[in-house]
Amino acid sequence: MSKLSELLKKVYSHNPVRVEDLGYLLSLSKEEDLREIFAFADSVRRQFAGEGILVRGIIEFSNFCRNSCFYCGLNKSNKTLSRYRLSREEIMYSLSKLSGCGIKTVVLQSGEDDSLDPYWLKDIIAQIKSLFDIAVTLSVGERERYEYKLWRDAGADRYLLKIETTNSRLYKSLHPGMSFGNRLRCLQDLKELGYQVGSGNIIGLRGQSLKDIAEDIIFFQAGEFDMLGIGPFIPHAKTELGNEPSAQAALTLKALALTRIVTKDTHLPATTALGSLGQDFRPQGLSAGANVLMPNFTPQQYRRLYEIYPGKRCIDEPMGSCSISAIGVARRKKSTKSGCSTSSR
Ligand code: SAH
């Protein structure tokens, strides 16, 4: 057996996995090595997540944000961005489209909107749960525990809050006014309240080492998350990191593949950011451990305003349609009606 396949087996079977082993695997760059890592991850995906691609529709319902994250185009210092907040009617209209495609999970995402009334969102969750047979995932950032409880009691099923990086010093340097400890507190609260919790990181941040990414993967293993978004950094001109280079697709795919190998059955999206690196790398993601796609159901006129990074895929396509190409290229072609991708949970 080659040294690489022995190491992959070791990483697959050890809990906790060793940071040195992950760091070494992340450093490999030869084509044949990458192929072997991706193929191993693909077989783990097949074994633990099956052949189906889960489709989770996303509605980005507000781009207001109180934070100044150094990488994100929604940061509050970006005065050139027109801000929007969808009405309840607009959200319900998008939902009817999404549900009409047979999709069984909606992700309601926004910036950290100070004016978000927790009771308004609670009513929307309750209305969605009474009208549609659909799981509700929230992704609205750091909030108080009572708000998480309010939404959970109204029927919210899952919550997505990326840790972004587990290096607390790096976290601090990229998130002025925020605290790593509070982010961990939020993830803990969400778990205790019975949410299925999703997290994730950004690959290729300025000052991030391979060891940092390895530590992220160890955090993912310990956290037993429902879903993990592993996305590449893409620079946005109106941010502090606007002049930094984009993440390498290969490094992002390696981190994705190793996350699959280590966490086994976690749902891993081929992220929209992975589809927005100039080329669409989502098919490669789906062949290297990913099993989820997240088509966009934000109303067309608002979609380009949710510009967390530039060149975001699926800005102009009709609601939900632009995942089909990625599925077709990667594995099985499975589309139902035009504008829809196949459903899953
Ligand atoms: N307010 C919510 C949603 C944030 S936007 C929250 O805090 O959870 C969703 C995700 O976009 C973030 O978690 C971050 O990982 C990602 N993101 C933001 N800017 C990015 C960039 N320039 N490149 C890649 N990913 C980015």
Chunked in runs of 10, what are the mean pLDDT values of the chain (345 residues)? 95 97 98 98 98 96 98 98 98 97 97 97 98 98 98 98 98 98 98 98 98 98 98 98 98 98 98 95 98 97 96 82 58 48 45
User: Quick check: CB of 127 below 6 Å from ligand 1?
Assistant: no
Quote the pLDDT of residue 338.
Answer: 41
Cα 181–162–261 angle (5° rounding)?
115
Domains and CATH numbers, the chain: 3-329 (3.20.20.70)
Q: Which residues contact 200 (CB under 8 A, 6 or more apart)?
A: 160, 162, 163, 164, 227, 228, 229, 230, 231
Give the other-Cβ count within 10 Å of 213's Cβ. 28
141, 128 Cβ separation under 8 angstroms: no
Quote the pLDDT of residue 318.
Answer: 79
Cα dihedral 275, 277, 280, 282 sign: negative
Query: Which atom of ligand 1 is nearest the CA belonging to 236?
Result: 22
**Which of 119, 157, 163, 172 has the alpha carbon at shortest distance from 141?**
163
User: Quick check: CB of 161 below 6 Å from ligand 1?
Assistant: yes
Q: Which residues contact 169 (CB under 8 A, 6 or more apart)?
A: none
- The answer, yes or no, to whether the previous bond of 16 is cis (omega within 30 of 0) is yes
CA-nearest residue for atom 11, ligand 1, is: 308
Taking the centre of ligand 1 as the mean of its atom positions, its distance from the CA of residue 308, in whole angstroms, is 6
Residue with tokens 């950004």: 202
Cα dihedral 135, 44, 9, 211 sign: negative
pTM given for the model:
0.95
Alpha carbons 148 and 122: distance in angstroms, whole number: 10
